[in-house]
Structure 1
Amino acid sequence: MKRPAIAADKRTKAGGSPRGTEYMDWHASLWPVAGSPDRISGIELNQICDIADLAREDPDVIKLWIGEGDLPTPDFIREAAVASLAAGQTRYTYSHGVPALRQALDRYHRRHWKVDVGADRFSVTAGGVQAIMQAFQAVLSPGDEVIVPVPAWPNLVEIVRILGGKVVPVNYRTAEQGGFRLDLDDLFAAVTPRTRVIAINSPSNPTGWIMPREQMRQVLDFARSRGIWIVSDEVYAHFTYDGTIAPSFLELAAPTDRLIVTNTFSKNWCMTGWRIGWLIYPQGMSTIFDNLSQYNTTSVATFIQHAAVAALDQGDDFIKALVARSAKGRAIICSALDSLPNVRVFWPEGTFYFFFSVHGMNSAYDVARRILREASVGVAPGSAFGQGGEAYLRVCFAVDPELIQEGANRLVDFLRKVD
């Protein structure tokens, strides 16, 4: 078997975050001259991308590191984009998004969660990342604290830091029977007078945990009583494996609650490269988010927005098929590694990620590099997800089940002999 050509590791940084020597020289010389604030110069390189960059173009590597499926965007969405281009819909448009898309988003939420949001509370963004960025731009001041259950998606943590906020981590607990859970006593105990936001990602990347509706109710009541914001990232709501859709804070909240919900078209409709998402804001904040959109991106490309209307209105069957396909991948990879005595398996309730721990693993980043080099499988190191993730690895199983099976076979062979 051909193995990926990986250069000798010249990357060193305290705490194990990789940096190339050329990068380090440039970084050390440029930033002090540029006078960049610490919150910018201290941004961590993404370890997932660091691993992926070692073998992105190697055809023999099974790539399970990045959070996206391997299917192309469906034809009906691409055709809608082409039709929009042909119609000349290529000019500036409303900062909040074209009215047709905001109305389609309202229909989508009525259909799936039975909630009456209203088209005027949606704002279209350049992907889910920008939705989260604008959510925190709207409510966060330097020095404010954000409560974040961890391990967590690294982009969320770095967005808070970029804006001058302070992340207060609250570790998930693990249940004896397997799986992750969030203890609300831990969450509430982390709150201080500086707490501005509680950030919830459910279903959770990377753990696969889903917040129960009753916990949502308790968090909402707690936040209301203290004037705390909730930023809820609900990107993976459809990716559950019990036949239901994940609960949403929107089902419990009033239109004036301090709640911002973020989402994206990337996962449900295989549109990662299109860069389009949305957020839902409380009544009375339209001007704030109109301005944030205007000064962040002006607007999302008009023809992409019209393609997104097709995704929302015609894409429910595609989502169902995609989730069913992911369920097969979940069963394959979890079952395969569950047979190993040195691997602790947590079957994910949601998302399309499998987060597992390996007994005796001291550096997830080093093990991920070994797996790439020796087994030709690309996995994400749990250390990329911050506190609590150091003993874990993450794989994305939203790919062809046959590919997942081959990846599982290679991982089992590797982990049987890992020391």
Structure 2
Amino acid sequence: MLQKPTYPLEARAAIRSLSSSQIREVANSAMGRNDVLPFWFGETDQPTAAFIRDAAAASLDAGETFYAQNLGRPYLRDAIAAYMSDLHRREMGADRICVVGSGVTGLAIVSQLMLSPGDRVVAITPLWPNITEIPRIAGANVERVSLTVRDGEWSLDLDRLLAALTPDTRMLIVNSPNNPTGWTISDEQVAAITAHCRKLGIWVVADDVYERLVYDPAVRSAPSFLRHFDAEERLISVNSFSKAWSMTGWRAGWITAPAALAADLAKVIEYNFSCVFEPAQRAATIALQQGEAEVADLRTRLGRTRALMASGLRDIPGIEVPEAGGAMYVFFRIAGQPDSVMTAKRLVNEVGLGLAPGSAFGSEGNGWLRWCHAIADEARLTDGIGRLETFVRRNS
């Protein structure tokens, strides 16, 4: 009898080397437990606004369940272009807009579009792991430039970043406001990075998913590279409806890129997901056109809950809470707790508190914890702070 040849049943090496989600590792161990307060994922506890849901329902009732254009329906691309032009005070044509199935899908599409094996990518970290792992799927090498805490707030060492952006760098990835720290880039830093990358021909990919979620009520959005780069320069912005419009489950986002890339973007989309479901596109359009009050309400709530969290945590001995400019997270650490995953699991098991381990966002995050405070029920946050204080006092 002939012996069958045996081959390993495994994915390619680049996939096997990817890091698994430590957030999921902690959350999966306790998901569904009624005694755990979950703050590990980045979303509000409020459902999408009724008028947005109604737009999707009307689309379904009208039978809009067919294929759409790869780059998105023209009505949504026009609405995004109008919104972006108003927000950033620069005319942006719909020919620069590409609708994608979520912000993370947009990042994956950009990676496939722009990166080749061996390309050098620089990222400002700590960072949501999807952003740094996706380039590795394409075979790129990712170099990390870490934020630091300076004078009690998250800070970027601009000189160190510019030194890392060498002529052999293909791409810089910037997420601001940053997940997990909330660090928010300044206009001066945007200008300096723009000039440097323009000179060296480096692509800038801006993850702008949290750009509306800034704590300063005097500004509509965080400083943006879209206000510094010209339309046909090497800048790609990735955005999403998930956070500012409380639409995490809808999986809808967009890319703003040079119009010259549109035809190739359409190809990559076709070979990934083809198009975004039209009821989701109808909902996204209404969100842009009628949702400013929703965004404003969320921002107000985030400012209030951030202040509540920072004050409550700082009252607990041994906890460090640096200041930050935006997003929906408090990134903090407990003295004497250097292992983030172990600490996060102990918090679940000992006091029923579900947080994301800082090491999920890179080794520079180890020892830190991320707490999502986009919660309307502030009593739950207060309860969570009390549980954390119990844990710290037991283990001090």
CA contact (8 A) 2:65 2:279 kept: yes
**Residue-by-residue CA offset, 1:301-355 (whole Å, 9 max, x unaligned):** 0111111101110100001111111222111111111112311111321000000
* Aligned equivalent of 2:28: 53
Amino acid paired to 1:316: E
| Whole-angstrom distance in 1 between the partners of 2:300 and 2:351 | 28
| Whole-angstrom distance in 2 between the partners of 1:207 and 1:169 | 15
* Aligned equivalent of 2:235: 259
Of 131, 134, 146 in structure 1, the residue corresponding to residue 106 of structure 2 is 131
Is residue 100 of structure 1 aligned with residue 100 of structure 2?
Answer: no
Give runs of aligned pairs for residues 262-411 of structure 1, distance below 5 A. 262-399=238-375, 400-411=377-388
Of 196, 199, 203 in structure 2, the residue corresponding to residue 222 of structure 1 is 196
Amino acid paired to 1:263: N
Amino acid paired to 1:195: T
Deviates more, 1:202-211 or 1:355-364: 355-364
CA contact (8 A) 2:167 2:200 kept: no
How far the C-alpha of 1:60 sits from its partner, in A, is 2.2
CA contact (8 A) 2:236 2:256 kept: yes
Structure 1 consecutive aligned stretches of length 4 or more whose deviation exceeds 6 Å = none
Of 143, 149, 173 in structure 2, the residue corresponding to residue 168 of structure 1 is 143
Amino acid paired to 1:345: V
CA contact (8 A) 2:180 2:329 kept: yes
**Residue-by-residue CA offset, 1:288-308 (whole Å, 9 max, x unaligned):** 111111111000101111111
Amino acid paired to 2:11: S
Q: Determine helix, strand or coil for the equivalent of 2:60.
A: helix
Q: Determine helix, strand or coil for the equivalent of 2:259.
A: coil
CA contact (8 A) 1:332 1:408 kept: no
* Aligned equivalent of 1:246: 222
| Whole-angstrom distance in 2 between the partners of 1:220 and 1:88 | 45
Q: Percent of counterpart pairs with the same letter?
A: 40
Q: Determine helix, strand or coil for the equivalent of 2:395.
A: coil
Amino acid paired to 1:233: D
Q: Determine helix, strand or coil for the equivalent of 2:123.
A: strand
**Residue-by-residue CA offset, 1:220-244 (whole Å, 9 max, x unaligned):** 1101100100000011111111112
Q: Determine helix, strand or coil for the equivalent of 2:343.
A: helix
Is residue 207 of structure 1 aligned with residue 184 of structure 2?
Answer: no
* Aligned equivalent of 1:14: none
Q: Determine helix, strand or coil for the equivalent of 2:323.
A: coil
Alignment TM-score, normalising by the size of structure 1: 0.90
Q: Determine helix, strand or coil for the equivalent of 1:395.
A: strand
Which segments of 5 or more consecutive residues in structure 1 lack a partner in the other structure? 1-30
* Aligned equivalent of 2:131: 156
* Aligned equivalent of 2:53: 78
Alignment TM-score, normalising by the size of structure 2: 0.95
* Aligned equivalent of 2:394: 417
How far the C-alpha of 1:115 sits from its partner, in A, is 2.0
How far the C-alpha of 1:86 sits from its partner, in A, is 1.1
| Whole-angstrom distance in 2 between the partners of 1:174 and 1:191 | 22
CA contact (8 A) 1:336 1:412 kept: no
CA contact (8 A) 2:154 2:323 kept: no
Amino acid paired to 2:137: I
CA contact (8 A) 2:148 2:154 kept: yes
How far the C-alpha of 1:193 sits from its partner, in A, is 4.2
Amino acid paired to 2:86: R
| Whole-angstrom distance in 2 between the partners of 1:208 and 1:114 | 24
CA contact (8 A) 1:150 1:387 kept: no
| Whole-angstrom distance in 2 between the partners of 1:69 and 1:188 | 35
